[in-house]
Amino acid sequence: MGVLDRLRDRLRPLYSSYPQMERNSVELFEDGEYETWRNEMLANKKPFGMVPLAYDNEDGDYTMWNDNPNIKPTNLYTTPERAGLNDLFEENPELNYQNPSNEMFPYEPNYPAIYAADKFMNESDETGKKVMDASEFFFKQKLNNGPFQYANGLNFPGRGIGVDKMKYVVGDNLNELNNDVLPHEFAHELEENPEMLNILPFPKQKGFNPREGRYENKGSGNTFLHDILYNFGPHYTDTGMDSGNEMSTMPDGSYDPEGRSISPQEKFALNRDQAMNYQALQNFSRRTLNKDPNEVIPNSSFKSWSNQDKFRTNRPNMRDVSGNRRKNSGGLVSLMQNLNEG
């Protein structure tokens, strides 16, 4: 069997399921509902930034930042909440006391999710793509032990998105659907867009898929991978990783290629390159949308409108004046200086 044949075999369950999903689905957004979702996304702001994951030299494990003198920074980065800085936000919500430059963690919405959703919705009429409530499809998957029995949503690149809305209606947890599942699926479409190659400083990096507990290599057109995508939404939910619920559902017994156990905190951390990709994606989307963050861009003008910003993206300067690539010290200051450009 040739390479193409093997690839088709792997993709067949995915693409053969799309017609079934479409037949058993209804439109997710009725009149005005997308605008409502979008406005709620804009209003849902959390502290945005990346800080080093802490490591306790005495216990030999990842931990939260506190006054323990044995705690040292690592070369992995995570969100402020997951770093254990929640109490600080209650006192002074935007002050980053660990950064000597006194930079702030701004309270921002999930700009990349809104940008990805706008792009999808504005191009859907032209491409025939749909956003669907595929609750019946997912119910049958669970009933028949189908390949997507554990999925909350699916993106079929270039075709459409289906989500299991009923799961969240019955569970009275539409917050997770709106702020985690939908952003994740919209972002899969954006991940395939070649414009990302001009926006991210380190596109197509190897990443760790925390949901599946395994490393994944770059794929054709995949520019930021699941490690970023699983930081994308839960940071903005009340029931996601920050509450501990998401970590408790992760696969047990995950190990890296050297056989080292991977902790829940590490699963949701990013290496330096991916942390900078995440920040660059946020910066680009913020600058683009803030021309008028409440405007849904007409489809006819979206491409040229977004391209104008593409060439003004401030990429982090990863080389010093001599042209030599900077060494990664794993420290906070150099990362934050680069991440806060733009």
Residue among 238, 243, 241, 168 nearest 210 (CA): 241
d(C-alpha 120, C-alpha 123), whole Å: 5
Decide if pLDDT at 235 tops 60: yes
d(C-alpha 254, C-alpha 23), whole Å: 37
Q: What percent of the chain has pLDDT over 70?
A: 67
What's the pLDDT score for residue 224? 86
For helices 111-127 and 182-191, give the axis angle rounded to 10 degrees.
70
What's the pLDDT score for residue 242? 41
Residues ≥6 apart with Cβ < 8 Å to 287: 309, 312, 313, 342
Q: What are phi and psi of 196, to 5 degrees?
A: -65, -25
Which tokens in the block code for residue 162?
């289906």
What's the pLDDT score for residue 113? 95
Residue 86 resides in a domain: yes
What's the pLDDT score for residue 86? 63
Residue type, 299: N
Residue type, 3: V
Residue 186 resides in a domain: yes
Radius of gyration of the chain (CA): 20
Average pLDDT over residues 164-193: 91
Q: What percent of the chain has pLDDT over 90?
A: 22
Residue 320 resides in a domain: no
Structural domain range at position 162: 14-313+327-339
Residue 175 resides in a domain: yes
d(C-alpha 27, C-alpha 30), whole Å: 7
For residues 198 and 117, the model is more confident at 117
Total of domains in the chain: 1
What's the pLDDT score for residue 1? 47
Decide if pLDDT at 318 tops 70: no
Residue 294 resides in a domain: yes
Residue 321 resides in a domain: no
pLDDT band at 171 (very low <50, low <70, confident <90, very high): confident
For residues 272 and 133, the model is more confident at 133
What's the pLDDT score for residue 49? 81
Residue among 193, 52, 226 nearest 115 (CA): 193
Residues ≥6 apart with Cβ < 8 Å to 44: 109, 110, 179, 236
207 DSSP assignment: E
Residue 9 resides in a domain: no
Residue 318 resides in a domain: no
d(C-alpha 62, C-alpha 249), whole Å: 18
Which tokens in the block code for residue 248?
């408790």
What's the pLDDT score for residue 246? 43
pLDDT band at 311 (very low <50, low <70, confident <90, very high): very low
d(C-alpha 131, C-alpha 27), whole Å: 6
Which tokens in the block code for residue 2?
């040739």
Handedness of CA 226, 227, 229, 233 (dihedral sign): positive
d(C-alpha 117, C-alpha 181), whole Å: 12
